[in-house]
Amino acid sequence: MKNTSFYYFLLFILNCAIGIAQTNSIKSVIRLNDSVNTLDIQQKIIFYNKSDTPLKKIFLHNWANSFKNNNTPLGKRFIEDYQKDFYFSKKKEKGYSKIKNLTLNYLKVPFKELENHSDIIEVSLKKPLKPKDSVRISIMYTIKVPSAKFTGYGKTKMGYHLRFWQIVPAIYNEKWHIMSNLNIDDLYQDVANYVIKIEIPKKYTLESNLYQSEIKKENTTSYHLVGNKKKDIILHINQGKKFKSFKTKTQEIKTDAYTKNISLKTTTSIITKQIQFIESYIGKHPHTEIFVDANTINKNSLHEIYGLPSWLKPFPKNFRWEINFFKALSSKYINDILLHNQRNDYWFSDGLQTFLMMEYLKKHHPKTTILGKYSNYWPLKFYNISKLKQGDKFAFVYQFSARRFYDQSLSTPADSLSNFNRKIVSKYKIGLGFKYLQDFIGDSIFQKSIKQYLFKNHLKTSPSTSFKSILKNNTKKDLNWFYTDYLKTTKKIDYKITSVKENQQKDSLLVTIKNKRNFSAPVALYGINNKKIKFKKWVTNIDSIKTIKIKKGNFNKLALNYENIYPEYNSLNNFRTTDNKLLSKPFQLRFLKDVEDPYYNQIFYKPDFKYNLYDGVILGIKINNQPIIPHNFNFSITPNYSTKSKNFTGAFSIGYDHFMQNSSIYKIRYGISGSNFHYAPELGYNSLAPFVSISFRRKTLRDVGSKFLTTRLFYINKEVEPGAEITERDRYKVLNFRYIYNKPNIIKRLQYAVNFELGNNFTKLSTDVRYRKFFASDKSYDFRFFGGMFITNNSIGDYFSFGLNRSSDYLFEHNLFGRSESSGLFSQQFVISDAGFKSKYNTPKTANQFILAANSSVSIWKWTQIYNDIAMLKNRNQSPEFFYENGIKINFIPNIFEFYFPIYTNQGWEINKSAYPSKIRFVITTNIDRIYNFIRRGLL
């Protein structure tokens, strides 16, 4: 017996020794040259072939070299993310990695940067590296540290914050997993045994996620850093210590993500509570010290959706910091245990982190709402949003994205996700999926499966798909729906109770459930009485329609997904009474917006303010049916009272959004809109326009471009002065086709539109092309071309003609304060259309045959630009006329707030003419959509 025990003990020691022997090792000797921001590195890597395949090549990740120019994958990614700081940065702010020598087992070997991937090195071996064999890679190189303003890592004001700074081997697991730096912090690297000796100027202090000792010298300090089975080495070199240690019974947490407003004792107590919670779900951390870096935390997550700004102090004391830190700690905890390719296989780690957050909120903050204490304040306490708990936001945010079909499948590579999906929506969806699985198969089975998976893959490279086999062994329930449709598609869950009937014995109910989409997933059926759950049953295999039998009970309503366990496309049709009646939904009025309520038909209202010269201040109420998460069918009615004309005016719109799947068309919107306002003193107009608009699908959600094709039929009816004859310009119809292509790249922006109009007495075609290119971070040149021609023109006068400096806007598309004014302040309002000239001419200049025009501008200082315009106008039976002008443009916010100061035209100098202020033109927009789109670029 003793011999057997001794045998197993020796076997255990041998396995541990083999495990250590098969771990890569990285030894580095480094010197920091502070004056030029460089690191001189001598590095030795012992790389093991842990696969069953002989390796002919080895790939190394050299992410420090991703900062060398604008053409690297990282440089291009910044442009995609609408960030231009790196593109226009100075050479001294960029970085690079320069390899001076590279040998394998002391012999020089050929190596090269991969084409179009300068941060990946390919090393050719003279002979294949056999399984379980190792090779010694020696590299001597210099790193130029970039500015930290680009990614959060690099040269800071007070020192250096280094992450992904050294060369590390890529992982081979059936294939080489190589990836360029894309500023999403997802380098797939194996654990290694690290030994680092680094010498830095004496004024600095070094902190890291390795164990360290130091020796102070006359002008420098030498640090000795060690760590076994570590990855993602972070070096923080700063003038003074920034990180603080918080010790629990089992762990030491080293972090700079603390706040001085919370005492050391309270912070330690909170962290201890969080460690215990995490350990109860996923077990012990592989190391005694956990390094939680605030910079890394904040970088790859949008600000949490808490509801109200922090200065209002809506939440319980320390809540905001506690939740932020739990998110950081749990994420770090998971990523220290698992070795996942988070670019292609992120769903498990993201899902587990979000699931832990949901469970933590449920246990420790079950009553905290997203509005905090303000949920009890009048009038917010009457709103549904005030009842949303912190744990409810996950399903709410996912549904917000899913309703607009902005979500992406969880098998989409992380670098192809939109920023909003990568940072928020995809994490929430898979977190909800974990909650879904837990409720469906049982808490104990799900949590047991997680612990088994983490134990089995502790510090090992493994795909998350192996979690599937563990779940399969632990439950007999069919989970194929989760691994196929839920993970690999964007199919939506949407069920509806269509009927409830008594059986012949009148002791049971026959409930018919309809699957409204092509995703067959388990659905939870509830019996409800006074909003309390009296009955719950899981129903499976509903491909189209299924009728099930349930016993009658002390409930009078039936509901699907009552607890919001799983993410659903539309939860408003989930209710029905036991006597087969749809819920009686009275109307509910809400000011501004609210979360939708399944028990009410909601109508929203808000004040509406407008202004034009003829109506004066326009006061009204905008009434609509759009909650915070919009419906496909929407309407808006805005009755107004005009204070100057003393008349009732207003507008309305009705529309339906039809979203398309698996098509090049993203959405078709059908609708009709109309308005009634004044276009001149005491003269009103009615506009009615049915329309169909087609939005084409973007290649990816990271593509900021858009394409639209819109068809509208305008009916215009204008009042005329008493006794005046009604002409073609007062009553007319125009069929309009418009195609718009827009590519708002942060450096090069292109937009063009093609417009075709068929009126009562004319047919015309025009195109508008606009291009902008930045040549410095705040300087650009703009070019616009406009060309238009009448195919037929039997109209009388110039009302439908092309204009030089102002169009007649006969379709009433522009928000003009004084559309009929030819003098005065409101005549100076400028909307770029037709030839786009800014200068005023003695007589109106129009073209009833064709027009060609070009507008250009170039930045000279801050918001100041010089503009130059040329145009040719051709009227029937007349020779072409040519026009030109130039001036100064003050461009505070493009297309939103601008001023134009003409200097010279073909009429001569403008600046020295009398009444020069009357020649200045201005752009002021009150279009909320335009302002919103300007702000949101780079976020979704």
Helix axes 443-456, 264-282, angle to 10 degrees: 90
Structural domain contains residue 836: yes
In this predicted structure, what is the pLDDT of residue 785?
98
CA pair distance 498, 500, nearest whole angstrom:
7
Tokens (6 digits) for 195: 């030994």
Judged against a pLDDT cut of 60, whether residue 824 lies above it is answered with yes
Judged against a pLDDT cut of 60, whether residue 717 lies above it is answered with yes
Residue 72: give its domain's CATH number: 2.60.40
Average pLDDT, the chain: 92
In this predicted structure, what is the pLDDT of residue 337?
94
Same domain, 773 and 876: yes
In this predicted structure, what is the pLDDT of residue 597?
87
Tokens (6 digits) for 94: 């960029």
Structural domain contains residue 616: no
In this predicted structure, what is the pLDDT of residue 311?
67
CA pair distance 930, 598, nearest whole angstrom:
32
Q: What is the mean pLDDT of residues 127-141?
A: 97
Residues 172, 199 contacting (CB under 8 angstroms): no
pLDDT digits (tens, 9 = 90+) for 756-773: 999 999 999 999 999 999
| Domain end residue (candidates: 191, 219, 235) | 191
Q: For residue 604, how many C-alpha atoms fall within 13 Å in the half-sphere facing its CB? A: 20
pLDDT digits (tens, 9 = 90+) for 777-788: 889 999 999 999
In this predicted structure, what is the pLDDT of residue 314?
85
Same domain, 74 and 167: yes
pLDDT band at 17 (very low <50, low <70, confident <90, very high): very low
Same domain, 301 and 251: yes
Q: Which region holds residue 31: left if phi is over 0, alpha if psi is between -120 and 50, else beta? A: beta
In this predicted structure, what is the pLDDT of residue 6?
40
* Number of domains into which the chain is organized: 4
State the residue for tokens 């650009």: 780
CA angle 499, 502, 506 (to 5 degrees): 170
Judged against a pLDDT cut of 90, whether residue 307 lies above it is answered with no
In this predicted structure, what is the pLDDT of residue 215?
95
Q: Which residue has the higher pLDDT, 936 or 36?
A: 36
Q: What is the mean pLDDT of residues 377-390?
A: 92
Judged against a pLDDT cut of 50, whether residue 9 lies above it is answered with no
CB atoms near residue 189 (< 10 Å): 18
Residues 619, 608 contacting (CB under 8 angstroms): yes
Structural domain contains residue 708: no
Structural domain contains residue 618: no
Same domain, 483 and 512: no
Same domain, 425 and 552: no
CA pair distance 793, 812, nearest whole angstrom:
21
pLDDT digits (tens, 9 = 90+) for 549-567: 999 999 999 999 999 899 9
pLDDT band at 196 (very low <50, low <70, confident <90, very high): very high
pLDDT band at 4 (very low <50, low <70, confident <90, very high): very low
Judged against a pLDDT cut of 90, whether residue 525 lies above it is answered with yes
Structural domain contains residue 94: yes
End-to-end CA distance of the chain: 66
Judged against a pLDDT cut of 70, whether residue 933 lies above it is answered with no
| Domain end residue (candidates: 426, 461, 490) | 490
Q: What is the mean pLDDT of residues 872-894?
A: 94
Judged against a pLDDT cut of 80, whether residue 837 lies above it is answered with yes
Residues 793, 764 contacting (CB under 8 angstroms): yes
Structural domain contains residue 885: yes
Judged against a pLDDT cut of 50, whether residue 154 lies above it is answered with yes
pLDDT band at 33 (very low <50, low <70, confident <90, very high): very high
pLDDT band at 534 (very low <50, low <70, confident <90, very high): very high
- Burial letters 30-69, b for 16+ CB under 10 A, else e: bbbebeebbbebbbebbbbbbbeeebeebbbbbbbbbbbe
The percentage of the chain sitting over the pLDDT mark of 90, rounded to a whole number, equals: 83
In this predicted structure, what is the pLDDT of residue 13?
41
Residues 894, 875 contacting (CB under 8 angstroms): no
Query: What is the edge-to-edge ordering of all strands in the sheet holding 252-255?
Result: 244-247, 252-255, 289-292
In this predicted structure, what is the pLDDT of residue 834?
96
pLDDT band at 11 (very low <50, low <70, confident <90, very high): very low
In this predicted structure, what is the pLDDT of residue 842?
81
pLDDT digits (tens, 9 = 90+) for 655-713: 999 999 889 999 999 999 999 999 999 999 999 999 999 999 999 999 889 999 999 99
In this predicted structure, what is the pLDDT of residue 605?
96
Residue 409: give its domain's CATH number: 1.10.390.10
Same domain, 502 and 466: no
Same domain, 87 and 108: yes
Same domain, 405 and 511: no
Structural domain contains residue 662: no
Using alpha carbons, list the distances in angstroms from residue 194 to 15, 24, 168, 336: 21, 9, 11, 15
| Domain end residue (candidates: 516, 535, 569) | 569
Residues 581, 593 contacting (CB under 8 angstroms): no
Tokens (6 digits) for 476: 């007999």
Lowest-confidence pick of 265-274, 415-424, 615-624, 888-897: 888-897
pLDDT digits (tens, 9 = 90+) for 588-630: 999 999 999 888 889 999 999 989 999 999 999 999 999 999 9
CA pair distance 348, 282, nearest whole angstrom:
13
State the residue for tokens 């001036």: 887
Tokens (6 digits) for 523: 């659905």
Same domain, 337 and 439: yes
Residues 108, 28 contacting (CB under 8 angstroms): no
Residues 239, 222 contacting (CB under 8 angstroms): no
Nearest Cα residue to 104 out of 149, 57, 150: 57
Same domain, 419 and 546: no
In this predicted structure, what is the pLDDT of residue 14?
38
In this predicted structure, what is the pLDDT of residue 599?
82
For residue 529, give its domain range: 496-569
pLDDT band at 930 (very low <50, low <70, confident <90, very high): low
In this predicted structure, what is the pLDDT of residue 894?
78
Same domain, 769 and 906: yes
Q: Which residue has the higher pLDDT, 195 or 844?
A: 195
Residue 80 CB contacts under 8 Å (≥ 6 apart), including other chains: 702, 704
Tokens (6 digits) for 846: 């129009």
In this predicted structure, what is the pLDDT of residue 778?
87
Structural domain contains residue 285: yes
Nearest Cα residue to 338 out of 454, 508, 196, 198: 454
In this predicted structure, what is the pLDDT of residue 931?
67
- What are 713's strand-pairing partners? 735
In this predicted structure, what is the pLDDT of residue 309?
62
User: Do you know the residue count of the chain?
Assistant: 940
pLDDT digits (tens, 9 = 90+) for 733-755: 999 999 999 998 999 999 999 99
Q: What is the mean pLDDT of residues 445-463?
A: 93
In this predicted structure, what is the pLDDT of residue 294?
85
pLDDT band at 305 (very low <50, low <70, confident <90, very high): very low
Same domain, 181 and 252: no
CA angle 653, 658, 659 (to 5 degrees): 130
